[in-house]
Chain A
Amino acid sequence: MPDARASLPAPVLAAVDLGGERGGRPLFRALRFALLPGQVVWLRGRNGRGKTSLLRLMAGLATPAAGAVHCNGVPLPRAGAAWRERLLFIGHANALKEDLTVVESLRFLARLQGRHCTAAQLAAALERVGIAPLAARPVRTLSQGQRRRAALARLALPQPPSVWLLDEPFDALDDDGVKRLNALLSEHAAAGGSTLLTSHQALTLDNPAPIPLELDPAVPAWVPAA
């Protein structure tokens, strides 16, 4: 992409005294961390600790109960379009349509981000995640692992250094899939992108070494308001 911004490193995403809650119950409070270009941060915590909620807050899909998420120093709602252009969020759900083919789904998801990919780029991305032969198959004929790979193929599309927010990306992947995803994460970090991911299995990524972010110690001691 011949874009002046394409050479800039990924924006710095920071949580500033972030508080999150679910159903009125506090999940975490006064959370402070920054996600710098080239980093892979591994968000850890027990089930129900709010890992997914935190990812959605960081993506700007939810509004924090307290504090703010800053993108290059600008709080999220104002960072707006410039921020979303540099964001790739892959949630627990794969965002694939049963009735579309793999390559149609991938093309649509890229278009949503304003990227027009050529057929060769799409094919190359599917090749990177090892599902090139499935390109023309409807998503409904794919297994869970294959669907996950199709969703992750977005990571292999050409893009400026961006922030990846990945919710359990290793879910349903076999050893080969894990290796391929690790390779994508390493390349992304080397190119100046940053990643915040959750995973309940130990990460096998060694370059860059993932920085653990423990959510458990930040358990908010819940004090009923006096």
Chain B
Amino acid sequence: MRALFLAILLRELRLAQRRPVEALLPVAFFIVSASLFPLGVGPEPQTLRTMAPGIAWVGALLASMLSVQHLYAADHADGSLDQMLLAPQSALVVAAAKSAAHWLTHGLPLIVAAPLVGLMFGLSWAALGALMLSLLLGTPILSLLGGLGAALTLGLRGGGMLLILIVLPLAVPALIFGAAAVAAVEAGVSPSGHFSLLGALLIATALGTPWATAAALRISTE
């Protein structure tokens, strides 16, 4: 089981490494979309600082949704997905490995780029740390939920938009607690409650979504 997980994970990483630009596009989207807000809202520092956690989190959420759309599509088109589902192990491993690979190639770069966005909005160092920690707990949730959405909309025309509509409501709790944790630090309150809830959300998602994704993959490939 671990061998299959590692085989798929390593393959995804190798594929991402062969197309480095494609892997960095969501990060570019994240930074550019966040940098639009000061232009639209105005340069008032206090306003921007209040909005920063929410903007960073919404940006990360949308960047994840855009990048997750192709998680299964290419493998479905070239027959690789059939072969993965025919592996002796459960399709659960496939779903888990694909989401893990998505997080490593698309979630982790968002966390690395987050301080840049934070600095752009004048967040304090403590708030920057909280933002990174909240994204560290939150982006795996987005990759897992996105994987489920990608599996559900596999092979559908206009599946990309549908995926976003399916996943966004599910991702709302992560958005609320993630942004609230950063806001709490900014306000000088302890963020530990928000982090605990975010951690609990991550555990629940990690336990639940691979099953649903595996089932969705089986249905989509029929």
Residues of A within 8 A of B (CB): 56, 59-63, 81-82, 84-85, 87, 89, 91-97, 99-100, 104, 108-109, 111-114, 116
B88 CB within 8 Å of chain A = yes
- For the complex formed, measure the closest distance between the CB of A93 and the CB atoms of chain B, giving whole angstroms: 3
Partner of A111, one of B3, B19, B80: B3
State the CA gap A89–B79 with chains docked (Å). Answer: 10
- For the complex formed, measure the closest distance between the CB of B9 and the CB atoms of chain A, giving whole angstroms: 11
Which residues in A have their C-beta under 8 angstroms from that of B14?
A: 100, 104
Q: B222 and A112: CB pair below 8 A?
A: no
Which residues in B have their C-beta under 8 angstroms from that of A96?
A: 78, 80
Report the count of interface residues on B (CB-CB < 8 A): 22
Closest to B15 in A: A99
- For the complex formed, measure the closest distance between the CB of B188 and the CB atoms of chain A, giving whole angstroms: 49
Q: A61 and B19: CB pair below 8 A?
A: no
Query: Provided the pairs A63-B222, A97-B78, A108-B7 are in contact, do residues A84 and B15 lie with their beta carbons within 8 angstroms?
Result: no
- For the complex formed, measure the closest distance between the CB of A137 and the CB atoms of chain B, giving whole angstroms: 13
Q: A89 and B15: CB pair below 8 A?
A: no
Which residues in A have their C-beta under 8 angstroms from that of B88?
A: 81-82, 84-85, 113-114
16 A-B pairs, CB-CB below 8 angstroms?
A59-B86, A60-B86, A61-B82, A61-B86, A62-B222, A84-B88, A93-B77, A95-B78, A96-B78, A99-B15, A99-B19, A100-B14, A100-B15, A104-B11, A104-B14, A114-B88
Q: B86 and A112: CB pair below 8 A?
A: yes
Which residues in A have their C-beta under 8 angstroms from that of B15?
A: 97, 99-100
- For the complex formed, measure the closest distance between the CB of B130 and the CB atoms of chain A, giving whole angstroms: 38
State the CA gap A91–B84 with chains docked (Å). Answer: 13
Partner of B4, one of A89, A91, A111: A111
Q: B79 and A108: CB pair below 8 A?
A: no
Which residues in A have their C-beta under 8 angstroms from that of B25?
A: none
- For the complex formed, measure the closest distance between the CB of A168 and the CB atoms of chain B, giving whole angstroms: 12
Which residues in A have their C-beta under 8 angstroms from that of B19?
A: 99
- For the complex formed, measure the closest distance between the CB of B218 and the CB atoms of chain A, giving whole angstroms: 8
Which residues in A have their C-beta under 8 angstroms from that of B157?
A: none
B1-35: contact bitstring with A at CB < 8 Å (1 yes, 0 no)? Answer: 00110010001001100110000000000000000
State the CA gap A88–B35 with chains docked (Å). Answer: 51
List the 6 closest A-B pairs by CB distance, nearest first.
A93-B79, A95-B79, A111-B7, A99-B18, A81-B88, A112-B87
State the CA gap A113–B7 with chains docked (Å). Answer: 11
Q: B82 and A95: CB pair below 8 A?
A: yes
Which residues in A have their C-beta under 8 angstroms from that of B87?
A: 84, 112-114
State the CA gap A56–B81 with chains docked (Å). Answer: 13
Which residues in B have their C-beta under 8 angstroms from that of A99?
A: 15, 18-19
- For the complex formed, measure the closest distance between the CB of B56 and the CB atoms of chain A, giving whole angstroms: 32
Closest to B6 in A: A111
Which residues in A have their C-beta under 8 angstroms from that of B11?
A: 97, 100, 104, 108
- For the complex formed, measure the closest distance between the CB of A98 and the CB atoms of chain B, giving whole angstroms: 8
Which residues in A have their C-beta under 8 angstroms from that of B190?
A: none
Closest to B94 in A: A112
Q: A91 and B222: CB pair below 8 A?
A: no
B58 CB within 8 Å of chain A = no
Which residues in A have their C-beta under 8 angstroms from that of B83?
A: 89, 95, 109, 112
B124 CB within 8 Å of chain A = no
Closest to A89 in B: B86
- For the complex formed, measure the closest distance between the CB of A158 and the CB atoms of chain B, giving whole angstroms: 17
B221 CB within 8 Å of chain A = yes
